[in-house]
A and B are shown apart, each in its own frame.
Chain A
């Protein structure tokens, strides 16, 4: 996590990152489950458009 944060330009310590580890792991697990949804033909909906 420290290396990933550093790659993003954030010099956070292990002690600072450890409290968020469970939340990050739960989130990434849940995001992996999105792979099973029928999303192949859908454009990402960033909503930046004028109706």
Chain B
């Protein structure tokens, strides 16, 4: 039974479809593990045990009647607690929405339900998704399962997603990513995920942080599982006017394992070259491994990215305050302090500054498009540092001292700013046993190539198969 919690979503789906295992057994195994470990990991805000078991019994009955919804039929998963879930409270990790119970599912939750997947519960997060550390004063800070002695950050804002998937408390999750909130916890917790192109996946029914920077995407233990989840949720949604009408490819079919002749640009200045030595070495080794598998690797530099920090802060702070303005006038004391302070900053950004920052997006996007015109993907670390201890405020990067928060988002927010798809997967461990994550960036709407390279990399390495000591 214990192995079921370490089985991939793809294999669980296959085992359920062939009646090798019952959806009820699979859900029960995960619920038992949550009961055993979650008091320590604080990955879940709400566990929906009864609803999950009821859904598992229904999935089993359908199976016996010959009805299989698809490759995720009967497979459990858990969303970050900012996705509306009918009948299950959706807190956004906040006190303000502590008792908010939606009357309908968000589009992506409904699509996964239609594909037969089963919600185990709702996962912890930085309050209202506004922080890359994964801190939560209301429900407790999720704990990184890779260090059993020191309480280390999971990364955020999808903190519970990182902890739960890494520790076998859910085989997959949906995170959200405004400055790196999928890729940062993937990197710090040693799991795999992808932030799709802006417009590829509907955000309808997802609590916003920043409308023009928010992305929705899967967090899993393998690239194949991310491909399965993305395939189930991607595509046009009339409820989200930013979604694309472009057709959605079969991502699972795209996973050929082949990278021969594929052109990979290793992002040097401002990315790999400023990472901590162990992170830099692991990503350079990954580049050589891809080269060994037949990819053509060269170095590439982006120059305008140095301006992305203040510009993305101006956009996120303005849009976030616009969403939170009413509560900030009447309930500001109910926010945790760091989030309240970040929201207040938005009041001092002028319309001219906001639009100047939006202009810069065109410049940065053009530069990245130019780099991708001659390459299929770009490679960089996902985070320049491994998981920091909770409360650690300063860190040293290749170009000087940095506060931890800025360091965590530095390499990821560029691609929220530009909208390009970007995935992350584990590519090594530090000497002290902490995961290191790489980041792969693709052309707009070419998530298939990003996933193909991540999957090919996972066929020649075993970093993604390692299990954390807490688990």
Q: A-side interface residues toward B, CB under 8 Å?
A: 1, 4-5, 8-12, 16-17, 19-20, 23-24, 27-28, 30-31, 33-35, 37-39, 42-51
Q: Say which residue of A19, A24, A46, A47 sits within 8 Å of B348 (CB atoms).
A: A24
Of chain B, the residue at the smallest CB distance from A16 is B344
- Counting CB contacts under 8 A, is B314 at the interface? yes
Q: Are B310 and A39 in contact (CB under 8 A)?
A: no
Q: Which residues of B line the A interface, CB within 8 A?
A: 198-199, 211-212, 241-246, 304, 307, 309-311, 313-314, 317, 325, 328-329, 332, 341, 344-345, 347-349, 353, 355-363, 365, 419, 444-445
Q: Is the CB of A20 within 8 A of B362?
A: no
Inter-chain CA distance A12–B445, complex, in Å, is 43
Chain A neighbourhood of B212, CB < 8 A: 46-48
A interface: dominant SS: loop
Query: By the criterion CB–CB under 8 Å, are A31 and B361 in contact?
Result: no
A35 to B361, CA, bound (A): 14
Contacting residues, chain A, for B353 (C-beta < 8 A): 28, 31
CB atoms of B325 and A46 under 8 A apart: no
Given A10-B328, A27-B314, A30-B310, decide whether A44 and B344 contact each other with a Cβ distance below 8 A.
no
Report the nearest A residue to B199, measured CB to CB. A51
On whether A37 and B307 interact (CB within 8 A), knowing A31-B356, A31-B357, the answer reads yes
CA distance A11 to B317 in the complex (A): 18
Given A42-B362, A47-B212, residue A33 in contact with residue B341 (CB < 8 A)? no
How far is A9 from B241 in the complex, measured between Cα atoms in Å?
Answer: 30
Write 11 A-B pairs (CB below 8 A) sorted by A numbering: A16-B344, A23-B341, A30-B309, A31-B311, A34-B356, A34-B357, A35-B356, A37-B304, A42-B363, A44-B358, A46-B358
The 7 A-B pairs at the shortest CB distance, nearest first, are namely A30-B310, A44-B358, A45-B361, A51-B244, A42-B362, A39-B359, A42-B359
CB distance from B417 to the nearest CB of A (A): 9
Among residues of B, the one whose C-beta sits closest to the C-beta of A8 is: B347
Distance between Cα atoms of A35 and B358 in the complex (Å) = 13
Most buried by B among A16, A24, A44: A44
A9 to chain B, nearest CB (A): 6
The complex places the Cα of A48 from the Cα of B328 at a distance, in Å, of 26
